[in-house]
Amino acid sequence: MSEVILEAVDIKFSYPDGTNALRKVNLEVKKGEKLAILGSNGAGKSTLFLHFNGIYRPDAGSIKYRGQDISYGKRALIELRKKVGIVFQDPDSQLFSASVWQDISFGPLNLGLGEEVVVDRVKQAMSDTETTDLQDKPTHLLSYGQKKRVSIAGVLAMEPEVIIFDEPTAWLDPRHGREFMELLEKLSQEGKTIIISTHDVDLAYSWSDRIAVMYSGELIASGEPGEVFLQPDIISRADLLLPWLLEMHRELVQKGWLPPSGPLPKTREDLFGSIAAKRERRLSVL
């Protein structure tokens, strides 16, 4: 069992207009894991994220970073934001500068790093997100996907230990979606802890180590992807769908093409590989 890096303990939060955005949420994030938070719009995912780096302060409960309650002093918050980065859903609200280069340099400069270190980090972040060619372009002439990548670079340049992505693949075309998943894989291999929120059950199922399901300000389930998706009541309560892999698998088991005791397929290759070719099957019967 790896150590818990970030933890929400009995978090309650309501917006000034009275909306109960979070009602007693408990969530542990383990170091180095890939956590997907599923839930429909308004379930409280983004609100929870804003608690994780101290933008919002819970009405009750606390956020723990490495076992310690986070404090909301100026210095402590800078320390926290150095460790926990958020990539917001709408790049237009994150990119405040018209210059790609300047925007990416903003975070690391706020950490008080020297200019040379910042230059190195900006360059590294640009090469990781393939935005090096965009550095001389103004942000308003970029496409949505390009803006998204620049906003990711702006957070990567701060080199946080935990990176939170709010709806990262929404509005990305399939190619950029795939490239983004490759980037996530790379970050994960570097030992970063990654949290994403999404509606995309297929993505969440295949990518994550663990899934948490939120519904109307509450965390209604968490666990390994296979485990969570095998609870039909949870899935329907949170207005989610089953990943196609699991649906297909269930269908194949029901119709007798696959043994019921076999492991759940995690990827498309797993599933396709487990389906035997027709001729082979006949031979094995003989």
Provide the binding-site residues for another protein, judged by CB under 8 A.
Answer: 50, 53, 55, 74, 78, 81-82, 85-86, 88, 90, 92-99, 101-103, 105-107, 109-111, 115, 118-119, 122, 135-141, 154-155, 158
Smaller CB separation from another protein, 96 or 272: 96
How near is the Cβ of 274 to another protein at its closest, in Å?
Answer: 43
We find the least distance from the C-beta atom of residue 155 to another protein, in angstroms, to be 7
Please state whether beta strands 60-65 and 4-14 pair in parallel, antiparallel, or not at all (unpaired). antiparallel
Can you tell me whether residue 113 is helix, strand or coil? coil
Nearer to another protein, 138 or 262 (CB): 138
Give whichever of 156 and 204 is closer to another protein, judged by the CB atom. Answer: 156
| Complex with another protein: residue 155 or 221, whichever CB lies closer | 155
Q: Give whichever of 3 and 136 is closer to another protein, judged by the CB atom.
A: 136
The least distance separating another protein from the CB of residue 59, rounded to whole angstroms, comes to 18
Residues written for the chain: 286
Q: Taking the complex as a whole, how short is the minimal distance between the CB of residue 207 and another protein, in angstroms?
A: 23
CA nearest neighbour of 61 among 32, 89, 21, 5: 21
Best CA proximity match to 196, nearest among 78, 111, 116, 85: 85
CA atoms of 210 and 108, how far apart (whole Å): 30
In the complex with another protein, the residue whose CB is nearer, 122 or 203, is: 122
DSSP 8-76: EEEEEEE-TTS-EEEEEEEEEEETT-EEEEE--TTSSHHHHHHHHTTSS--SEEEEEETTEE---SHHH
CB 71 within 8 A of CB 28: no
Q: Which amino acid is at 19?
A: T
Say which DSSP state 99 is in: B
Compute the distance between CA of residue 166 and CA of residue 147 in angstroms, rounded to an integer.
15
Nearest CB to another protein, comparing residues 36 and 163 = 163
Smaller CB separation from another protein, 28 or 90:
90
Which residues is 65 bridged to in the sheet? Answer: 6, 68
Query: Rounded to an integer, what distance in angstroms lies between the CA atom of residue 61 and that of residue 97?
Result: 35
CB of 188 to another protein, least distance (A): 21
Residue 237 CB, shortest distance to another protein, in Å, is 30
Query: Minimal distance in Å, beta carbon 104 to another protein?
Result: 8
What are the start-end ranges of the E strands in the chain? Answer: 4-14, 20-30, 34-38, 60-65, 68-69, 84-87, 162-166, 193-198, 210-215, 218-223
Q: Smallest distance, Å, CB 260 to another protein?
A: 47
